[in-house]
Structure 1
Amino acid sequence: METLANLQSFVKSAESGSFSEAGRRLGLTAAAVSRNMAMLERNLGVRLFQRSTRGLTLTEAGVRFLQSIGDSLETLQAAIEEASSDASEPTGVLKVSLSTTFGIAHVLPLLPEFLQRYPRIRPEWHFESRRVDLVQEGYDLAIGGGFAFAPGIVARTLAPAHIVAVASPEYLRERRVPMEPAELAGLAGIAMRASGTGRIRQWTLRNATGMEATAPLKEDIVMNDPGAMREAARLGLGVAMLALPDVVADFEAGTLVRVLPDWYADAGSISIYYASRTLLPAKTRAFADFIVEAFGQRKLARKYSAI
């Protein structure tokens, strides 16, 4: 009977096309993954990969073997972790993707308490302004918002993703403050170019009565990072449309003010999300439950709401 390590090495190598990348995801060396694969091929009596200087390619037998495994390996791994968690606390590397500005400002401060509660979990956190492929990139969870989730993804809402217009008090001091969304056209704009599509983000604003209006923000300055847009707004370069959690500290400090305080754009929700499994690994479940609990206790959903 094949060992779990051999099967893990095969699946991760097939997904990544590289023994080195498979080793990185499994916490092994490339040589160890290669040995596992050699043992698996010897035991099965077939070659599963074609090896070349350009990487790995599944053979016909390798493709059939990967299809036959299906979700069985993932279920087995989760079952082992679930069973072991009954006798010990959650443990292992926890790979998480977080949006840069939100993750650093609002999730990173929760890490000391989390590690005090679960000292055997080792965080590996990646701060990046993109939606990741949890399975293909080997992430346990991710935190972000403003996008649709793929089928099979479990998403637990943390807070609304409300977008508001902001500017520095200095910028607005000698200018006419807008009373309606159409009046944004008279101010300098700090626009956002989406990294995924390359397009300038356009926002439809709404108010408490249900009225809607386009935000005619000019493209005097274009950036692709919310943190940089926030800094440009702080410098008095114009009006930016930013997620409320990214600027709430500026409102409290007085470095930014909300323009059109009765209006906001709804970009959906900020969520913690992970791949759906019958049995969730203890470390993943512990982190997801902890974050949801922390946001609830601190009433952050209310704090980050523009309404």
Structure 2
Amino acid sequence: MLDLEAARTFALVVQNQSFSEAARRLGVSAPVISKQVARLEKALGARLLQRTTRRLGLTEAGTAFYAHCVRMLEEADAAERAVSRLHAAPRGHLRVSATVGFGSLRIAPLLPGFLARYPEVSVELVCDDRVVDLVEGGYDLALRLTAQPGDLLVARALTAVRQVLCAAPAYLERHGTPQRPEELADHNCLRYLRSDDAGDTRWAFVSEGRSLGVPVAGNFSTNNIDALRRAAMAGLGIILGSSYRLEPDIRAGRLVEILGTFLPEQDARIYAVYPSNRHLSPKTRVFIDYLVGALGDS
């Protein structure tokens, strides 16, 4: 088996073109360096260096071995760094992207506990409903609501998210409660405008085991889910949104859930995602673990 330290010594000799300089850098004597290189040559069965009184040169075998040696040492150093990161104390600034609703309602309340547990970590939570570029934006990770996180990202599921359909009691008293998804054509449906299209013009339901896309229309749409929620509570119309956003209002009686048996039990999940070409730092790893423990699969 190749002696990694001997290979490192050989590379240092080549880079400095000197046994004595390599010895000085390693804090040993030149004869120690010479013996290490000699043992390496014996193990490989080939002379690696040509020594003259004026210069130190590589043999053909030495040139070939040095090229492989550099790559091998780089990989060994990378492996050591990877292991060290696993055991290093989490520290540094953590930049996290999340949607406005999930970030403010579910993540922000968890941060005091996380920061108390990891006092050397600081968190910057950027809440935006747009899908951001993690690398260009300098984010360590993003929390995304999706059915498919994408092939270019490493994703870890945090929690399932259920969609709920609801309206204010006053609206239902005036206009009646729809009993089937098709009846939404006769109602004022408040639509959320996403950044990638004109808005939710079709809502997804399940009827008799089959997926059903129902066209909806209304006199109010917005890209702000809280504005949509407030309009629904004021009795303007029917709203479709995430359970974590609307269930507090349903429990308080401000909104009434409708057509619950026609909605998919689990539309999507919240994922913690980060670029696949990036090592997971200790601060990012413990943050994801903390969220998994706190959110579970609720």
Q: TM-score range by the shorter chain?
A: 0.5 to 0.7
Structural RMSD (CA): 2.5
Give the aligned partner of residue 176 of structure 2: 176
CA distance in 2, matches of 1:102, 1:84: 29
Give the aligned partner of residue 235 of structure 1: 234
CA contact (8 A) 1:182 1:214 kept: no
Give the aligned partner of residue 83 of structure 1: 84
Give the aligned partner of residue 290 of structure 2: 290
Change (3 A) 1:181 1:215: same
- Say whether 1:129 aligns with 2:155: no
Shift of 1:161: 3.2
Give the aligned partner of residue 20 of structure 1: none
Query: Runs of 4+ in structure 1 displaced over 4 angstroms?
Result: 78-82
CA contact (8 A) 2:97 2:127 kept: yes
CA contact (8 A) 1:202 1:215 kept: yes
Shift of 1:80: 4.5
Identity in percent: 32
- Say whether 1:260 aligns with 2:262: no
- Say whether 1:281 aligns with 2:271: no
Per-residue CA distance 1:56-108 (angstroms, 9 max, x = gap): xxxxxxxxxxxxxxxx9xx96x965862563x520000000011011111111
Q: TM-score, normalised by structure 2?
A: 0.68
Give the aligned partner of residue 47 of structure 1: none
Change (3 A) 1:231 1:82: farther
CA distance in 2, matches of 1:136, 1:201: 32
CA distance in 1, matches of 2:212, 2:85: 54
Shift of 1:204: 1.7
CA distance in 1, matches of 2:282, 2:178: 51
**Counterpart of 1:149 in 2: which secondary structure?**
coil
CA contact (8 A) 1:144 1:272 kept: yes
CA distance in 2, matches of 1:81, 1:95: 21
CA distance in 2, matches of 1:278, 1:195: 27
CA distance in 2, matches of 1:134, 1:79: 26
Per-residue CA distance 1:234-280 (angstroms, 9 max, x = gap): 11110011111111111111111112121225542221111225741
Change (3 A) 1:79 1:172: farther
**Counterpart of 1:213 in 2: which secondary structure?**
strand
CA distance in 2, matches of 1:229, 1:250: 13
CA contact (8 A) 1:192 1:223 kept: yes
Give the aligned partner of residue 272 of structure 1: 272
CA distance in 2, matches of 1:117, 1:89: 12
- Say whether 1:210 aligns with 2:230: no
Gaps of 5+ in 2: 1-73
Aligned residues: 223
CA contact (8 A) 2:164 2:246 kept: no
Change (3 A) 1:94 1:278: closer
Give the aligned partner of residue 244 of structure 1: 243
Give the aligned partner of residue 150 of structure 1: 150
